Structure 1
Amino acid sequence: MAPAITLAAEAPKLSAANTGFMLICSALVMLMTPGLAFFYGGMVRVKSTLNMLMMSFISLGIVTILWVLYGFSMAFGTDSGSLIGWNSDWVGLGNIGLTELWPGYTIPVFVFLVFQLMFAIITPALISGALADRVKFSAWALFITLWATVVYFPVAHWVWGAGGWAFELGVIDFAGGTAVHINAGAAALGVILVIGKRVGFKRDPMRPHSLPLVMLGAGLLWFGWFGFNAGSWLGNDDGVGALMFVNTQVATAAAMLAWLAYEKIRHGAFTTLGAASGAVAGLVAITPAGGAVTPLGAIAVGVIAGVLCAMAVGLKYKFGYDDSLDVVGVHLVGGVVGSLLIGFFASGKGQSEVEGLFYGGGLTQFWKQCAGVFAVLAYSLIVSALLAFILDKTMGMRVTEDDEVAGIDQAEHAETAYDFSGAGGGAAKTAAVAAAVAGAESKKVDA
């Protein structure tokens, strides 16, 4: 009998379908950053609207340049000690072939790197919501530069880079529960503990000035999140990307309903802000878990995240930290919840054969998830606080109290979000009203 002939596995070939799909997903993820800007921009007071928009938009500029220069190499280059990557050929992106494939996949390296770039952009932008009303724009821009370099790029390598310690340990993070949301939420907590509270925190009303803008931002985030999540499988030849797409919708819907139900029981009303926040909480929680759970599991993840995040946003008043727009309560808590629930709801029928406790797999995966969650949380919290402390002691992180009270938009950007000069009496009347409001707020501070 002739000996059996073993054929080498055929090398992946460029897939036009997967390439096109991933380019669309990349564009969807890019749209999430302007969506986040609108979401946050509607939640602040009128006098801080433009600053809030700019704190997100500036990330599009800064992180893009860093990614080209060295960020992609640090996050996805050859592993060094399971902590960081590096590939000198990727510095400046000039030595990458146009048809060179990302190893093991059917898409070009350029497509993979631009998809991951959009993740790198939105992560520091998420932090900005916790710092609303009080941070110098120049200090924020420098913070993004430093934070992306020493926190995001290394953590992305831990979680997604070949050889990264969390990746090798088997921590499941489909699309960024640890690398994006816990990372940003912990950083937000670290920074606000350093820079302190807004003037008038827990005393003056700080209600959202435009709930329609909040809902618009939430809708754009929900829409873009399909690219964020489904695209993270880098193709859909085996249906896992489609599962993630479905679970993204299911968990988000469940979390929104759960948040509203909690809000009705706790506060007696169904609010638009609650609906938007609940949807985002569901999106955050399903991000790490959606490839590992069934749609019923996604409902459970969404409900649990919706309730726990709704409860968590009130902790800032109890413990006295000023998380302006609930980045800690939604992104940190939601990321932790979604990441840890993988240890219970992983079905073994999605992205891998890993099974959670409820599917007979015991607690092995849960402990792996704990390792990833708390390592990222601790690293980001401590390093972010140190960066904020250094910047605060050198250039100053905060605007002056007078500028904060009068309005950070005018102080930092020499603009205002809304021009009322054409309606109701002209520019002189508008200026007089603005001066009167600023004077009234100054008196409150003096008192």
Structure 2
Amino acid sequence: MNQTPDRSIGVAVLGMGNVGSEVVRIIDENAADLRARVGAPVEIRGIAVRDLGKPRKVAQDLLTDDPAALVARDDVDIVVELMGGIDPARGLIRAALESGKSVVTANKALLAEYTGELATAAADAKVDLYFEAAVAGAIPVVRPLMQSLAGDTVERVAGIVNGTTNYILSAMDETGADYADSLAEAGRLGYAEADPTADVEGYDAAAKAAILASIAFHTRVTAADVHREGISSVTASDLAAAKKFDCTVKLLSICERVHDADGRQRISARVYPALIPLSHPLATVNGAFNAVVVEAENAGRLMFYGQGAGGSPTASAVLGDMVMAARNKVHGGRGPLESTYASLPIAPVDDVPTRYYVSMKVADKPGVLSQVAGEFSKRSVSIAAVRQEGAGEDARLIVVTHRAPDRAQSETVAALEDMDAVIKVSSVLRLEGTDD
């Protein structure tokens, strides 16, 4: 039901960590501007926190440790969920939607698993479900995909969407430090959590890839559909070798439309560390910054760049969604609904053409190169470049391939590991961002 301009829009905030605190601050400090932009006053009805005894810079009477009761209040029009995790956030969001309240969330883990369930609840109740802040912090990516490119055909979305891993890889590239030392430094600077597993093993990036793929390709994609590899096995030697090929290494989230020879279309969604040429726009994205490159049939290549995390940047995206939801409450209307009309199948990573970088320690004797090349040839994997380094016990071969199905590439690597001439396959990375 539409609200009249003289009635304030009530907001419930669930969670008051770094992002929640910034959201509350901005609503308070920008009250006059928000009223003008929305067409009615925006007022916080309550803030759900875990610990009522913790000192906070808000009025004590706004705080509650009963989020369910806050969500159920009749004077709440919009629920801003910033708790994170699956439960109890899932139940609270469902309850809000089913009672006719719009929801703004930054909860990527929840959306990667339950977007369909929550979008259906929002559609049934004729309210909004917004989640711009769930992917790449302050960078506007979700809304352009859902609205600006709604009339186009998106072919590919690829990007750096995790600031922790990008900081670590950038530090390794710039200083020559190893992974463990760079991770420790990221922790000291506050870029890495005490338990960095979700970041460094690619879970965070995979959740974001699922969300981006769902939107871009009008198909419901979950985190389980995303092939995931982390950065913990990337070495300083890999970064050094990448430079010799005029490349660097980034953890990429890639979502693309795969066109089979018979005309069938499928979706590939994957996360892994990969070499990219220094000439590629993503190669210059360093530190804790994020960037997403969208390739569409008619719009061409678009790049979105900025701070992908942090209290204030993420709060900016949350407030943008909140203003949209509040305007709809005042003036009527709704935001775009989930679109899953295409329902494209997911392509297994084995079927996706990729390029490989393979570094191996080999025996220093004649004929090794031809034996190695023979294993690639057996599986129709063409070699683009070979670099030989060291001698004796330090002899090493680095092979870069042309594009071939990932299955053929991985089977070749497995065969190399069984060769007497190959002492150890030290590193295997993919190569992205080239036309070969």
TM-score after normalising by structure 2: 0.26
Please state which structure has a larger fraction of its residues in helix. 1
Normalising by structure 1, report the TM-score: 0.25
Greater relative contact order structure (CA < 8 Å, 6+ sep): 1
Work out which of the two has the higher radius of gyration on C-alpha atoms and give 1 or 2.
2
